[in-house]
Amino acid sequence: MKPQALQQPPPPSQRIPGRTELGWLQGLLANPNAIWIREVRQSARLDRTPWLLFAVTLLLSLLVASIGGTASSASVSPAKVGMAVSQVFFSLAYGVVTLVGPAVAANTIAAEREGRTWEALVLTGMTPAQIARGKFLSSFTTLSLYIAAIAPIGALSFAFGGTTATETIVGFILLFMLAGLWVAFGLAMSAAMSSLRGAIVLTLILAIIVGPVLYVIFGPAMSALAHEHWSQVPAGLPIWLPVAYTRANFGIDYLVLLVALPFVVLALPAWFLYEVTVANLSAKADDRSSGLKRWFIVSTLAGAGLAAAAPASLGGRGTPPSDPASFATHTALWCLGLFFGFCALLFIGEPAGPSRRLTTLWSKNNVGALGRALGPGLARTFMLVMLLETCAFGAATFGGVFAMGIFHKGSGVLGIMLSGATLWAHVIFFTGLSAWLRARTDSPLGARIIALAVMLALVVLPWAFAAVGGIATKQDEWLALGATNPFYVVVILGQLAAPAPNHFLLIAGYIGILFFGAAGLVLFTLAQLKARAINAASSLHYVQLDAALAAEDSATTTAP
Amino acid sequence: MSAQLPAISVRHLSHRFGRFDVLRDVSFDVHQGEIFGFIGPNGAGKTTTIRVLSTLLEPMAGRVKVLGRDVTLEPELVRKDIGYMPDHAGVYDRVTVREYLEFFADAYKVPTAGSSYAVVDASMELTDLTRLSDKIVSTMSKGMKQRLQLARVLLHDPKVLILDEPASDLDPRARIEIRDLLMELRAMGKTVLLSSHILTELADVVTSVAIMERGRIVVSGPIGEIAEALERQRSGPTQRQALPTSADSPTVPTPKEAPNLNSFVPNTPEPPRVAQRSVKVRVLAPFDRVSAILTDLPFVTAVRPGAMATIQVTFSGDDRAVALMVRSLVTADLPVVSVEPERNELERIFLEATRGDLQ
């Protein structure tokens, strides 16, 4: 036994240089993430891995070959058969990625917690971000193995023609990017749950529901829109983006719609999932907010910019409110409403204020006002959310009004402004309600459930009463009850378009806007006061504790 | 590091889960170089305290420092100084002992020379795992897995080791090996906080103890001092707070939700109790003869045949009474082979200090 050997690290000259000394890529190669290496090693020793790979490859080969064979037996050109084989292959590969990626990733963090290895890992000093990256890399490596195993099947389409090598390569690049997104989704779910079975089951259920929906929306549905813009892109193809890259005319629209937009559509959710994972891996006293707030700010700016620019870029065909610019504005406003509703629920997880640990760290590191503003705290978070909500709705409404001014000489402007105001008021109300509920309860989940229940009640119940009352009395005025929910904007737009608008219904809409906007601000103010009181009580407690412990120390020191 | 600075300082620690007070004004110190036994029945709050010490749980009230660093404010720095071995910790499947330790060495960012992990080798040697370095960890016995956990927590050369029930579920041989290892670690200058509810596991290794019951520290300090305090208690009416604890302190503020920090010391005097002790005497003589001599002594209250040819003698008094018993037997020309306490010191302290309540 030579215990002293433990305390003899090699001299600095023999040490492997750190990442900062070598540069990021060299550092990554020289000092790879420890979790990644260990998990890849574990996967390599898993007996069932080769059998699973074999089974997936065999199944996929049989499916693609049988579909290709069936198609080629009909009187269609080989090029069409090749295209069909390619589409079937990538669709099935998407299915593999959608199922295997989340399942593999969901297994990682929850397995550490359930297997009671998590505490040992945390105490090594690895940061949540390092752990998340290691877990991502290991799951992504496993999924890449599956993609690599099935890749040769994709080459079957070359036997028939109809697709180019570039399209196939782009298809694989997109497949790897989607694989990354699904792995990030699985990790986020895994980080939020402590039960392994629960994490896998819930992740798979969501993947099975969400995967096909996304496939239809971003596949056939989007290909129809792409076909309208670029006739060279066939309509109805599920895997149209690789084809669009090679066949669409290069220009600004190419860069915006085929490069920037897909990047944003993939990058923003991936970033969000990463931040959620890191936040769920961090301790409650740590900063779990800054990353999510940065994502929120960037996403809002991107969304607001897109919402403001979309109406004007779509041209001035048709008549308001059924013209593309009006449609785009209203769609953008609703999308923003849903996004902000989601973000209000997301930020319900905020604590009343930053922990003592964090404030100490901020002071130690001289963190500035901006850094602190991005940190945890109910009031500052919901203030930011409300501010950005107002800016985003303002930008989207302005974009619509601007487009109406250019294309339709101001026609439809009032409708757009009322739509924007109605949705803004309800979003502000929901945000204020979320903040107030969070300030009143210790349970974010409870606050989320109550907030959703209140919103659901405001949306559903008034319409039910209005329907019953309207049928019983045959009077339209009952519809005014619906002013308690954002869908009332449909009534407002209908009345504005009517030759003889019902002013009672319009006034109800205006009152609804004012009431919900004001109620949201009042609820937020109450939440702010409550959070301030909680933070003051906490600070006072620590001041008193410090004083009492100091007195105790002093008594101990002076004791004989 | 100053010699006076305690390795672990726990001051007025309180915590609750929901409405359940798990820790109530827990205060104790662990000095550097000690093997400190943290004793209490299941559910007493030992693991919660240990999780706070290990930076895994933020306490609701109180202050905990490890080598002068606050576990709440500087968890990253505290983690560098501690090695925490949880009870029933898991291991990774499909990795060998060496790979397992190399992973943690990398995770701890322990300096390595190229591909050589000198620290891993040293750690395996210390815990006697070198011959098992290529064994898959999931196939190892519980005892070997505990050794592996110990090897893991030693990789970054922590000054303070926090071991939660390190010998639970181990066979007698593995327990003895772990105990020997602890002695070796103490010789290396490590401070060890060892929690257990099995007193025999701790009796031979600990230098100080804290006994916990229902979320409170009943008694804490060096074993000798506690034993002396108990002796003083036996000699007359007493109160429980006469035992050495860290509770005699000024009032400390309590958050609204936290329990009353200083409420645990019972202030009502308990009725005087007659201190009863038992010793096991082995004498090479018939029981009746020995019994006749001992029952004549005024402080002996009962003499019964014990196991393994011993005689159990119950008496009131301290060690002087034991000396008088031996003298009486020797004077009567009876060969006394051995006299030993029926319970070891730690067991005696535990039984006298606790009420036997479980949460």
pLDDT tens string B177-195 = 888 888 888 888 899 999 8
Q: How many A×B Cβ pairs under 8 Å?
A: 151
B90 closest CB neighbour out of A7, A117, A357: A117
Q: Return the pLDDT at A23.
A: 65
Closest C-alpha to A488, from A521, A520, A466: A466
Domain-terminating residue out of B191, B213, B235: B213
The model's pLDDT over A165-184, given as tens digits with 9 standing for 90+, comes to 899 999 999 999 999 999 99
Please report which helix (H) or strand (E) contains residue A343, including its range. helix A324-346
A42 closest CB neighbour out of B72, B95, B126: B95
pLDDT at A428 over 50: yes
Distance from CA of B257 to the nearest CA of A (A): 11
Q: Return the pLDDT at B203.
A: 74
With beta carbons under 8 A apart, name residues in chain A contacting B68: none
Dihedral sign (CA B314, B316, B320, B324):
negative
Residue B287 maps to which CATH number?
3.30.70.100
pLDDT at A90 over 80: yes
Residues B70 and B197 in one domain: yes
Which residue of chain A has the CA closest to B70? A357
Please report which helix (H) or strand (E) contains residue A1, including its range. none
Report CA-CA distances (Å) from A482 to A20, A331, A415, A520, B238: 60, 20, 17, 18, 75
Q: Which residues of A243-268 are buried (b: 16+ CB within 10 A; e: fewer)?
A: bbbebbeeeeebeebbeeebeeeeee
Which residue of chain A has the CA closest to B120? A6
Q: Confidence class of residue B249 from pLDDT cuts 50, 70 and 90?
A: very low
* B11 vs A: CB within 8 A: yes
Total H helices, total E strands in chain B = 11, 14
Residue B106 lies in a domain: yes
Q: What does the alpha-carbon distance between residue A334 and residue B273 come to, in Å, rounded to a whole number?
A: 79
Residues B31 and B107 in one domain: yes
State the complex-level ipTM: 0.82
Residue percentage of chain A with pLDDT more than 70: 93
Residues B206 and B281 in one domain: no
Total H helices, total E strands in chain A = 22, 0
Contacts of A540 (CB under 8 A, 6+ apart): none
Residue B270 lies in a domain: no
For residue A457, report the phi and psi dihedrals to the nearest 5 degrees. -65, -40
* B187 vs A: CB within 8 A: yes
Q: Return the pLDDT at A13.
A: 36
B186-208 average pLDDT score: 83
Name B315's bridge partners.
B277, B300
Residue percentage of chain A with pLDDT more than 90: 51
Residues B185 and B330 in one domain: no
A123 closest CB neighbour out of B54, B94, B154: B54
Q: What does the alpha-carbon distance between residue A230 and residue A249 come to, in Å, rounded to a whole number?
A: 8
Range of the domain at B17: 8-213
Q: Confidence class of residue A134 from pLDDT cuts 50, 70 and 90?
A: very high
Report CA-CA distances (Å) from A148 to A113, A144, A241, B68: 30, 6, 21, 53
For A245-279, the DSSP string reads HHHSPPSHHHIIIIIIHHHHHHHHHHHHHHHHHHH
Q: What does the alpha-carbon distance between residue B193 and residue B8 come to, in Å, rounded to a whole number?
A: 9
**B301: helix, coil or strand?**
strand
Report CA-CA distances (Å) from A63 to A50, A163, A282, A361, B1: 20, 19, 44, 57, 70
Which residue of chain A has the CA closest to B72? A357
* B217 or A229: which leads in pLDDT: B217
Tally of CB atoms within 10 A around B171: 12
Contact call for B61 and A15, based on CB within 8 A: no
> Helices in chain B by DSSP H: which ranges?
46-53, 75-81, 97-107, 118-126, 142-154, 172-187, 199-203, 223-234, 287-295, 319-331, 345-353
Please report which helix (H) or strand (E) contains residue B22, including its range. strand B20-30
Q: Which two structure tokens, joined as six digits, stand for B151? A: 């090897």
Report CA-CA distances (Å) from B30 to B6, B9, B26, B37, B38: 6, 6, 13, 10, 10
Q: Confidence class of residue B270 from pLDDT cuts 50, 70 and 90?
A: very low
Q: What does the alpha-carbon distance between residue A133 and residue A108 come to, in Å, rounded to a whole number?
A: 12
Residues B83 and B208 in one domain: yes
Residue B296 lies in a domain: yes
**A31: helix, coil or strand?**
coil
Q: Return the pLDDT at A49.
A: 84
Domain-terminating residue out of B195, B213, B231: B213
Residue B353 lies in a domain: no
**Residue A15 DSSP code:** B
Which residue of chain A has the CA closest to B96? A42
Closest C-alpha to A146, from A208, A92, A71: A92
Q: Confidence class of residue B272 from pLDDT cuts 50, 70 and 90?
A: very low
* B77 vs A: CB within 8 A: no
Q: Confidence class of residue B240 from pLDDT cuts 50, 70 and 90?
A: very low
**B302, B313 contact by CB (below 8 A):** yes
Burial class of B139 by CB neighbour count within 10 A (0 to 12, 13 to 18, 19+):
exposed
Per-residue H/E/C for A285-342: CCCCCHHHHHHHHHHHHHHHHHHHHHHHHCCCCCCCCCCHHHHHHHHHHHHHHHHHHH
Q: Confidence class of residue B114 from pLDDT cuts 50, 70 and 90?
A: low
Closest C-alpha to A107, from A191, A45, A177: A191
**A448, A345 contact by CB (below 8 A):** yes
Average pLDDT taken over every residue of chain B: 81
The model's pLDDT over A488-506, given as tens digits with 9 standing for 90+, comes to 888 888 888 888 888 899 8
| Least-confidence region, from A4-8, A284-288, A370-374, B353-357 | A4-8
* A126 vs B: CB within 8 A: yes
Contact call for A34 and B107, based on CB within 8 A: yes
Q: Confidence class of residue B205 from pLDDT cuts 50, 70 and 90?
A: confident
Residues B26 and B127 in one domain: yes
Name B38's bridge partners.
B195, B210
With beta carbons under 8 A apart, name residues in chain B contacting A48: none
* B118 vs A: CB within 8 A: yes
**A180, A140 contact by CB (below 8 A):** yes
For B126-194, the DSSP string reads HTT-GGGTTSBGGGS-HHHHHHHHHHHHHTT--SEEEEESTTTT--HHHHHHHHHHHHHHHHTT-EEEE
Closest C-alpha to B79, from B92, B66, B60, B90: B66
Q: Return the pLDDT at A316.
A: 64
Which residue of chain B has the CA closest to A285? B58
Overall domain count for chain B: 2
With beta carbons under 8 A apart, name residues in chain A contacting B110: 9
Maximum mean pLDDT: which of B32-41, B193-202, B310-319:
B32-41
Q: What does the alpha-carbon distance between residue A385 and residue A346 come to, in Å, rounded to a whole number?
A: 11
Question: Helix A413-440 crosses helix A488-497 at what angle (to 10 degrees)?
Answer: 160
Question: Helix B118-126 crosses helix B97-107 at what angle (to 10 degrees)?
Answer: 120
Q: Return the pLDDT at A96.
A: 93
The model's pLDDT over A21-42, given as tens digits with 9 standing for 90+, comes to 556 677 777 778 999 999 998 8
Maximum mean pLDDT: which of A139-148, A305-314, B15-24:
A139-148
pLDDT at B311 over 80: yes
Average pLDDT taken over every residue of chain A: 87
Residue B250 lies in a domain: no
Closest C-alpha to B223, from B329, B337, B349: B349
Residue B155 maps to which CATH number?
3.40.50.300
For residue A320, report the phi and psi dihedrals to the nearest 5 degrees. -60, 145
A34 closest CB neighbour out of B82, B106, B121: B106
Residues B200 and B281 in one domain: no
Q: What does the alpha-carbon distance between residue A525 and residue A432 come to, in Å, rounded to a whole number?
A: 8
Q: What does the alpha-carbon distance between residue A162 and residue A168 come to, in Å, rounded to a whole number?
A: 11
| Least-confidence region, from A33-37, A276-280, A309-313, B94-98 | A309-313
CA distance between the termini of chain A: 44
Contact call for A124 and B108, based on CB within 8 A: yes
Q: How many residues belong to chain B?
A: 359
Distance from CA of A430 to the nearest CA of B (A): 29
Residues B14 and B136 in one domain: yes
The model's pLDDT over B6-26, given as tens digits with 9 standing for 90+, comes to 999 999 999 988 888 899 999
Closest C-alpha to A169, from A177, A270, A218: A177
Contacts of A450 (CB under 8 A, 6+ apart): A437, A441
Residues B31 and B165 in one domain: yes
